[in-house]
Amino acid sequence: MEQNLNEILKLRREKLAVLQEMGKDPFVITKFDQTHHSVDIKENYDELEGKTVSVAGRMMFKRVMGKASFCNVQDLKGSIQAYVARDSIGVEDYALFKKYDVGDIIGVTGEVFKTKTGEISVHASSVTLLSKSLQILPEKYHGLTDTDTRYRQRYTDLIMNREVKETFVKRSKIISSIRRFLDDRGFMEVETPMLVQNAGGAAARPFETHFNALDEDLKLRISLELYLKRLIVGGLEKVYEIGRVFRNEGLDTRHNPEFTLMELYQAYTDYHGMMDLTEAMYRYVAQQVNGSMQVTYGENVIDFEKPFERITMVDAVKKYAGVDWSEVKSTADARAVADKLHVEYEERHQKGDILSLIFEEYAECHLIQPTFVMDHPIEISPLTKKKPEDPEYVERFEMFINGWEMANAYSELNDPIDQRERFKAQEAMLAAGDEEANTTDEDFLNALEIGMPPTGGIGYGIDRLVMIMTNSPAIRDVLLFPTMKSLDK
Helix and strand counts by DSSP (H, E) for the chain: 16, 20
- 57: nearest Cα among 74, 78, 34: 74
In angstroms, how far apart are the furthest CA atoms of the chain? Answer: 91
C-alpha separations of 260 from 131, 165, 230, 245, 294 in Å: 34, 19, 21, 6, 24
Length, in residues, of the chain: 489
Dist. CA 69–CA 64, nearest whole Å:
4
For residue 129, the Cα-to-chain-centroid distance in whole angstroms is: 35
Helices (H), 207-307: 225-233, 271-290
Q: Is 199 helix (H, G, I), strand (E, B) or coil?
A: coil
Q: Is 47 a known ligand-binding residue?
A: no
For the chain, state the CA radius of gyration.
29
Q: Where are the beta strands (DSSP E) in 309-428?
A: 309-312, 371-374, 386-387, 390-394, 396-401, 404-411
Q: Which residues contact 169 (CB under 8 A, 6 or more apart)?
A: none
Asked if residues 108 and 55 have their Cβ atoms less than 8 Å apart, the reply is yes
- 13: nearest Cα among 132, 140, 137: 132
Dist. CA 66–CA 241, nearest whole Å:
59
Dist. CA 130–CA 193, nearest whole Å:
41
Backbone angles phi, psi at 133, to 5 degrees: -85, 120
- 259: nearest Cα among 457, 460, 399: 460
Backbone angles phi, psi at 17, to 5 degrees: -60, -40
Classify residue 145 by burial, with Cβ atoms within 10 Å: 0-12, 13-18, 19+: exposed
Q: Is 405 a known ligand-binding residue?
A: yes
- 328: nearest Cα among 313, 309, 311: 313
DSSP 8-class letter at 205: P
For residue 90, the Cα-to-chain-centroid distance in whole angstroms is: 48
- Residue 148 CB coordination number (10 Å): 11
Tell me which amino acid residue 28 is: V
**Binding-site residue positions:** 398, 405
**Binding-site residue positions for Mg(2+):** 398, 405
